[in-house]
Amino acid sequence: MICSVVGARPNFMKMAPVILELQRRGLPNLFVHTGQHYDAAMSTVFFDELGMPKPDIYLGVGSGSHAEQTACVMTAFEDVCTKHVPELVIVAGDVNSTLACALVAAKLHIPVAHLEAGLRSFDRTMPEEINRLLTDHISEILFTSEQQGNLNLRNEGIGQEKVFFVGNCMIDSLRTHLDAALSRTPWIHYQLAPGSYGLVTLHRPAVVDDPVKLDQLREVLCEIGQSVPLLFPIHPRTRKKVATLGKSWNPVKLVDPLGYLDFLGLMAKARIVLTDSGGIQEETTALGVPCATLRDNTERPSTVQVGTNKLAGTNPIGILSVARELLGSRNGVAQIPELWDGKASIRVVDVVQSWLAKASTG
C-alpha cells in the first residue's frame, strides 16, 4: 500500500493528479491530510474543485510555531504508519508537513518518495529551504520538476539512481482544469476586464511579519495600483498582519482567499501577477502571464530562464521598476520548461509502479 500525504494548499495541486492516476490504475493508496492548512477556503474547497477523493485520514494538526506544527504532525503520522505500515510514503513540496512525514517514515524504515525534489533557493533563512534539503536527503525516490533540480541533487552527492526527472505535476492540474476555470469568468465578479488587471499574493513570514517591510510593499502596490487595478486575495495570516498595520490599501482591492478554479481563471487573464509564491511562478510561466516575484531569490530558476518570471526583490524601487517593465512589454517569447506537458503524474506513477514491483521481488 502507498501512503500519499498533503498538508497545505500548494500540495493539493501537486498531489491531486498523482492520487487520481494511482486510483485509475487501481493501486492501493492511503490518502492522508495533515490539516496544516485547516481553513475551508485554503483547503476543503480544493478537494472539491480538483476532483480529489476525500482523505482517508485527517490529522487536524492546525497552526502553531514551526516546532509545534512539525512535532504535532510527526506524532500523529507515526500512529498512521505504525497502524497501516505502508510500503511507500509520497510527500510533496516543502511545507512543514512534508518534512515531518518524511522524517517519521524514514525512522520507521518506510521508503519516502519526494515529489518536486531538488529545488533550491540557497537561502537557509527560508524554512522551506530547510524542509526541501532534509526531505531530499532522507528520500529513496526523488521526482524532479526541472533540470536544475537534477543538477542540485547531483552536486549534493545524492545517488542518481534515486532521481527521476518527471516534470511538473502542478502543471498537470492547471492543464486539466484551465477550461473550467475560464468558464467561471471570475473577473466579472470583481468588475475587471481580461488582460487589464493585476493579481497579488503575499504570505511569506519574512515579509508579512515585518511591519516595516509590509508597509513598504503596501506603498509600492498602491502606486502600481494607480496604473492597473490590483486584486489581492489575502491569506489569513497576512490579513491579520494587514489589520495590525492599520493603513489603507486603496486602490488595491483586498478580498478573501479564493478557490483553485476562481484563482486560476483570474491568473490566466491577468496583465501581471505580483507574488512571493513559488507555485505561482510556475503557473504564470505555463500560462504565459508576466510575473514579478517579490523575493531576492527563487528555487524555480526555469521560470526566469525560459518563462515569464522576473525577480523583483523586496525593495520598493526594484519592485516598481520590474512592474513597469512587465506592464510596458508585450510578452510572447516565453517558453514552457521541459516536461511541463501535463503528463508528469503519469511518469510519477510509472516509476512508483516499477519500484513497487521490484520491491516485492526483493
User: Which residues are marked as active site?
Assistant: 203
**Which residues, listed in sequence order, are joined to residue 3 by a DSSP beta bridge?**
30, 89
- Residue type at position 301: P
Shortest CA distance to 227 belongs to which of 247, 249, 251? 251
Is the peptide bond preceding residue 337 cis, with omega within 30 degrees of 0?
Answer: no
Contact 146, 116 (CB under 8 A): no
Q: How far apart (Å, rounded) are the C-alpha atoms in residues 138 and 113?
A: 9
Q: How far apart (Å, rounded) are the C-alpha atoms in residues 22 and 346?
A: 9
Which residues, other chains included, contact 43 with Cβ-Cβ below 8 Å and sequence gap of 6+?
A: 9, 12, 33, 35, 37
Q: How far apart (Å, rounded) are the C-alpha atoms in residues 176 and 84?
A: 32
Contact 53, 209 (CB under 8 A): no
Residue 113's Cβ-side half-sphere holds a number of Cα atoms within 13 Å equal to: 23
φ, ψ for residue 309 (rounded to 5)? -90, 140
Three cell numbers written together for 28: 492501493
Q: How far apart (Å, rounded) are the C-alpha atoms in residues 320 and 124?
A: 27
Query: Is 245 exposed, middle or buried, given 0-12, 13-18 or 19+ CB atoms closer than 10 A?
Result: middle
Query: Is 139 exposed, middle or buried, given 0-12, 13-18 or 19+ CB atoms closer than 10 A?
Result: buried
Q: Within 10 A of 186 (CB to CB), how many other CB atoms are there?
A: 22
Which residues, other chains included, contact 25 with Cβ-Cβ below 8 Å and sequence gap of 6+?
A: 349, 353
H/E stretch holding 352 reads helix 344-360
Specify the residue for cell string 502507498: 2
Q: Within 10 A of 77 (CB to CB), how many other CB atoms are there?
A: 27
